[in-house]
Chain A
Amino acid sequence: MALDVRQAAPAPVRERPRRETTTAFVVSRIVVLSVAAAILLYAVPPLVATGSWVALGLLCAVSAAIVYLYLTRRFIPAKYLIPGTVFLIAFQVFPVVYTVTTAFTNFGDGHRGDKAAAVTAIETGSVRQAPGSPEYTLSVALRGEELVFLLVDPATKRVSLGTADGLTPLDGAKVGVTGKVLTAPGLTVLKAPEAAARGPEITALAVPTDDGVIKANGLSRAVEGKAALVYDAACDCVRGDGDTWTADESQGYFVNATGEHLAQGWQVNVGLDNFARVLTNPTISGYFAGVLGWNLAFALASVLGCFGLGMGVALALHHPRMRGTKIYRIVLILPYAMPAFAMLLVWRDMFNRDFGLINQLLGAEIDWLGQTGTARLGVILVNIWLGFPYMFLVTTGALQAIPRELTEAASIDGATPFKAFRRVTLPLLLVALTPLLISAFAYNFNNYNAIALTTDGGPFPADSPQVGSTDLLITYTFRLAFGAGGAQFGFAAAISVFIFAIVAVISTVAFRRTRKQEEVYA
């Protein structure tokens, strides 16, 4: 697929003249070295302090490679590519690769941490009041910055200080009529609103005792309780409540004999389970074809609509005798200059049946986004409105590169303006714009916001409330992955891989086909 002539005809090999060392050469080398040194001086100490040796090694290796690259006279293309590539790898490639690896795990709600964290969560979550244990009156206080409990035993009126380290008797505290502590030496007793503001901290504090832990029950009461569920390392299981849950490393759950599992699990490798789920899930596969069809139509209509309209006005304005082009151009980029999310919400309001502007102007009572046909047309229209200024801008830019002599020559040869456009301007435009059109297609194929902020997938037919008629693959499947079952990142990542595969295949095929066409024109 040799496409451009330059590559097909290799440049004549010429002996490169030996260059003497110029001032610019020396200065540029010094700048490179000092920038590298400055970055290392800044970045190394924190890594050493925290003992992140892998990161340190990586940093040094990358810096050394970059310094070498810019000191040597070789690898000229790499000198131009590396600056952008470093950022690309760090902030796009790495996150994407990492996301793809989570597709092989059960990462998500209930499976966020490791096993130890799950055991702790299960044990503390199962704390219940021990029979016959006292119910303390609780006051919350601060010791310096640390939150502590002041516990009054209602029977003996003795005051104890409870911290994360344990329970100690406290003397000299003044107890009020309600049983709450008013003042205590060396401590700042919090008033009710102050304590309420620290609710999560209060809930989290557990004061260990001989028989269990003391935890707050509301803001003014604390009870001593015991963990009903206890982890036993010997059998790798959790016991309690007359049942035993054994760790199942393939699911990342503690499971009992009847197959029920505890809510808290941990992250494990599940292999291809997520991918298998995407393929076998009846709610996905049952609607897949329909959603994919509309998704393709939406992306194509958006791209072609934007490109047609954008190129149309760009061509109309691209005429030496056209007047007022400056004003026109400003007006035309306005939709693009407004924040997209805001305008999506505004469009949704304009389509509203009861108070929407469009119905007001038409004097109609049409539920635009409530019916399949109008809702689909509506979201495409909104998307074209948002996107056509982009196409207008890039076409205007690309038109500058096409010498006017070419179109003039065509018209002298007797071509009609339409023919000149079809045979000369459009092919040349497409050379520069095909990648952008493909990229715009991929973007719109996954245009989550355009749907989520307008129809949110709706309208939903009564018989299948799962999938709406404007749902794209991404909005529909992400609703499944982040819906009722809690966030399932692993599952969502597997879905993303599938969607990526679909878009990438379509794009690559389209790209090759258009490139072949251009060869014909060229």
Chain B
Amino acid sequence: MTLRHGFVLVVCAFAVFPILFVLSAAINPMGTLASTELLPTGASLNNFANLLASDTYPFGRWFFNSVFIALVSSFASLLLSMFAAYAFSRMRFAGRRIGMMALLLIQMFPQFLAIVTIFMIFTEVTELYPAFGFNTVWGLLLLYLGGALGVNTWLMKGFLDTVPKELDEAATVDGATHAQIFWRVIMPLVTPILAVTALLAFIGVMSEFLMANVFLRDPESKTLAVGMFGMIAGDHRNANFGMFAAGTLITAVPTVGVFLWLQKYIVSGLTAGAVKG
């Protein structure tokens, strides 16, 4: 047991070390890049105050945008992904294997370049449907749903495969439809992996930068990742470092909040008790 604690503590130290550096930069009133030490002389919350009161950077707005987009899109993609995982795990149909392999392979194309095409698609969309075009939350949400089926579907499918099929067979014998089995039998059993996937999707969207940067130009519509990148782009890097560090820390708050909320589901281990033998 001591060994376990010792090992975990070492890894925790490794995890926290760079974050302490960011923290010290955030509370350092002289917050420039070169002046940052692990223990700053004199601490203040000025950087946080400046950031929240800034006229140049609508930080509160960015924060709201990010959390909203991340919550909605992770919930929606969780659902889409779970649907697909259910079909892949429980049903046998032509093209199942190819479909699953295709899901894995399509993610391997260097997406970096596809941005050019996505830009052209949404130039059209912006003209036809401004509500889903550039600088809108809804357009970006649609774009993120494109990634809903992916490696998360595999993760869920793998987990579903370990849930005994006898459970839904019993329900089928009792006359349940496939939809009833999905909602009433399967969903309650897979909460740990649902929670993990929801968290992964949430974090993925919170830190997504490449597409959001193309998509959101208007200062009011930016997400945290895009807005904060603008803060340190070009010559602002040194001058804004304190505020940037403060922003980085605040960005982690919603993620930790979602994790705290989901943690009890992640480790619930429901399936262990659900079936015997």
Contacts and interface: CB of A to CB of B under 8 A. Distances in A.
A340 B207 contact: yes
A431 B15 contact: no
A95 B118 contact: yes
Contacts of B196: 393-394, 396-397
Chain A: interface size category: 35 or more
Contacts of A448: 110, 112
Contact of B192 (A313, A326, A397, A431): A397
A322 B11 contact: no
A77 B270 CA distance: 26
A277 interface: no
Contacts of B248: 338-339, 342-343, 346
28 contacts: A6-B165, A7-B92, A24-B179, A80-B91, A84-B80, A85-B149, A95-B114, A95-B117, A96-B114, A312-B7, A313-B8, A329-B263, A330-B259, A332-B8, A338-B19, A339-B224, A341-B207, A345-B232, A354-B34, A355-B36, A393-B196, A396-B196, A397-B197, A400-B267, A400-B271, A435-B154, A439-B108, A446-B112
Interface in A338-377: 338-343, 345-347, 349-350, 354-355, 357, 360-361
Contact of A396 (B8, B154, B252, B267): B267
B87 interface: yes
Contacts, number: 307
Contacts of B16: 331, 334
B71 interface: no
Contact of A316 (B7, B80, B99, B111): B7
A80 B86 contact: yes
Contacts of B259: 329-330, 333, 337
Interface stretch (A43-51, A116-124, A178-186): A43-51
Contacts of A80: 83-84, 86-87, 91, 182
B56 to A, nearest CB: 18
A321 B114 contact: no
Contacts of A396: 196, 266-267
Nearest to B15: A335
B22 A338 contact: yes
Closest 4 CB pairs of A and B: A91-B146, A432-B158, A397-B196, A337-B255
Q: Which of A4, A88, A339, A341 has the most CB of B within 10 A?
A: A339
A114 to B, nearest CB: 15
Contacts of B129: 42-43, 46
A321 B7 contact: no
B146 A92 contact: yes
A337 B252 contact: yes
A73 to B, nearest CB: 10
Interface string B133-176: 00000000011011111110111001101110100000000010
A159 interface: no
A99 B81 CA distance: 25
Given A341-B225, A474-B112, 10 more contacts: A77-B91, A77-B93, A88-B146, A94-B117, A337-B255, A339-B225, A397-B197, A400-B193, A401-B159, A493-B113
B86 A357 contact: no
Nearest to A481: B113
B108 A504 contact: yes
Given A81-B83, A350-B21, A394 B155 contact: yes
Given A339-B251, A400-B271, A507 B11 contact: no
Nearest to B87: A80
A319 B38 contact: no
B98 interface: no
Contacts of B21: 346, 350, 357
A385 B38 contact: no
A489 B113 contact: yes
Interface stretch (A237-245, A249-257, A283-291, A495-503): A495-503
Contacts of B18: 335, 343, 346-347, 350, 385
Interface of B: 1, 4-5, 7-8, 11-12, 14-16, 18-19, 21-22, 33-34, 36-38, 77, 79-81, 83-84, 86-87, 91-93, 96, 99, 101, 103-114, 116-118, 121, 127-129, 142-143, 145-151, 153-155, 158-159, 161-163, 165, 175, 177-180, 182, 192-193, 195-197, 199-200, 203, 206-207, 209, 224-225, 228-229, 232, 244, 248-249, 251-252, 255-256, 259-260, 263, 266-272
A176 interface: no
A442 B108 contact: yes
Contacts of A415: none
A456 B196 CA distance: 33
A435 B272 contact: no
B104 A438 contact: yes
A75 B114 CA distance: 32
A340 B205 CA distance: 11
Contacts of A24: 179-180
A459 to B, nearest CB: 21
B80 A83 contact: yes
Contact of A337 (B34, B37, B93, B203): B203
Provide the main secondary structure of the chain B interface.
Answer: helix
A304 interface: no
Contacts of B5: 324
A34 to B, nearest CB: 18
Given A98-B117, A334-B15, A340-B207, A357 B38 contact: yes
Nearest to A400: B192
Contacts of B99: 81
Contacts of B36: 349, 355, 357
A303 interface: no
A190 interface: no
A37 B274 CA distance: 42
Interface string A471-495: 0001000100000000001001100
Given A76-B178, A319-B4, A489-B116, A337 B200 contact: no
Contacts of B111: 92, 96
Interface in A62-95: 76-78, 80-81, 83-85, 87-88, 90-95
A19 interface: yes
A402 B192 CA distance: 12
A438 B16 CA distance: 28
B137 to A, nearest CB: 16
A52 B125 CA distance: 12
A33 interface: no
Contacts of B149: 84-85, 87-88
Contacts of B158: 398, 431-433, 435
A92 B147 contact: yes
Contacts of A337: 203, 206, 251-252, 255-256, 259
Contacts of B91: 76-77, 80
A119 B170 CA distance: 72
